Amino acid sequence: MSDNTTLSIAVLSGKGGVGKSNLALNMSLALNQKGRKVLLIDCDLGLANLDVLLGITPSGDMQKLIDDDLAPSDVLTPITADGFDLLPASSGLVESFDKQHLVPGLLVKKLGRLASAYDYVIMDIGAGISPMVLNFAAMAMMRILVITPEPTSLTDSYALVKVLAARQNIRDHLVLVNQVESAKQEEQAFKRLAAACSHFLNITPVNLGSVRLDNNLTEAVRRQKPMLLEFPQSKSAADFHSLAEKLEKLRAGMLPRLAGSPPLRQPS
Q: What does 50-87 look like in DSSP terms, one character per residue?
A: HHHHHT---S--HHHHHHS---HHHH-EESSTTSEEEE
Instruction: Look at residue 62 in the predicted model and tell me its pLDDT.
Output: 83
Domains of the chain: 7-44+116-258 (3.40.50.300)
Alpha carbons 168 and 160: distance in angstroms, whole number? 11
Instruction: Look at residue 86 in the predicted model and tell me its pLDDT.
Output: 96
Residues in the chain: 268
Three-class SS of residue 244? helix
> In this structure, which amino acid lies at residue 153?
S
Q: Is the dihedral of CA 52, 54, 58, 60 positive or negative?
A: negative
Instruction: Look at residue 109 in the predicted model and tell me its pLDDT.
Output: 86
Rounded mean pLDDT for each run of 10 residues along the chain, 268 residues in total = 78 95 98 97 86 90 79 90 92 54 81 90 95 92 98 98 96 98 97 98 98 96 96 97 98 92 88
Alpha carbons 104 and 198: distance in angstroms, whole number? 30
Instruction: Look at residue 162 in the predicted model and tell me its pLDDT.
Output: 98
Alpha carbons 121 and 34: distance in angstroms, whole number? 15
> In the 8-state DSSP scheme, what is residue 265?
P
Exposed / middle / buried, residue 255 (Cβ in 10 Å: 0-12, 13-18, 19+) = exposed
CB 211 within 8 A of CB 239: yes
Instruction: Look at residue 91 in the predicted model and tell me its pLDDT.
Output: 59
- Edge-to-edge, what's the strand order for the sheet holding 38-43? 77-78, 84-87, 38-43, 120-125, 7-12, 142-147, 174-180, 206-212
Instruction: Look at residue 260 in the predicted model and tell me its pLDDT.
Output: 83
Alpha carbons 98 and 147: distance in angstroms, whole number? 32
CA 109 remoteness from chain centre: 19
Beta partners for residue 9, in sequence order: 122, 142
Instruction: Look at residue 61 in the predicted model and tell me its pLDDT.
Output: 83
Strand 7-12 to 142-147 pairing: parallel
Helix (H) or strand (E) holding 206: strand 206-212
DSSP per position, 150-205:
SHHHHHHHHHHHHHHHHHH-----EEEEEEESSHHHHHHHHHHHHHHIIIII----
Cα 18–Cα 129–Cα 126 angle in degrees, nearest 5: 45
